[in-house]
Amino acid sequence: MVSTSTFIQDTIKFIRNTLSTGITDPISASRTGRERFVMTSYPQRPVKYPIITVRSEGQADIKRLGMRSESSWTKLPIEVRIWARNETEKDSLTQSVHNTLRANQFAGGSSSSDDEELHDFQILSVVPIDETGQTGIKSMIITVQYMYILGS
């Protein structure tokens, strides 16, 4: 459950775990035990592509819920970046990320974004960032956003 005291960290981990279980790694058979398909930071050591990274973009639009209220709501923009070996893989993984997050809003049980108190899912932008050349890494940055109510 996303907690008011750790809501940014909890949200990042929730999205990472949702994508890890909801998207099939195209090269899972060739990854070693230490290699991850979905991670919460840009890799610092060499990796096998494709990978997906999930990072916070900070907070936006923090507002009080009403007069004399110590509760507030905030919007949490999150960067989900797909790093792929080619255009087809990039497009396929981008679509999988979109479908997984969209379909996970009201899944029920304890695995949906609504169950985690993350509301109003939106995709704010989808931007391609490709390295030059045929062997360059193909990348897509998806900015998603949730709203979270910060209580006492």
Domain 4-150 part of CATH 3.30.2000.10: yes
Along the 152 residues of the chain, how does pLDDT read in single tens digits?
A: 677 778 889 899 999 999 999 999 999 888 888 889 999 988 888 889 999 999 998 777 677 788 877 888 889 999 999 999 999 999 999 999 999 999 888 866 557 888 888 889 999 999 999 777 777 789 999 999 999 888 75
Q: Give the residue extent of every domain in the chain.
A: 4-150
* Buried-state track 123-132, b at ≥16 Cβ within 10 A, e below 16: eeeeeeeeee
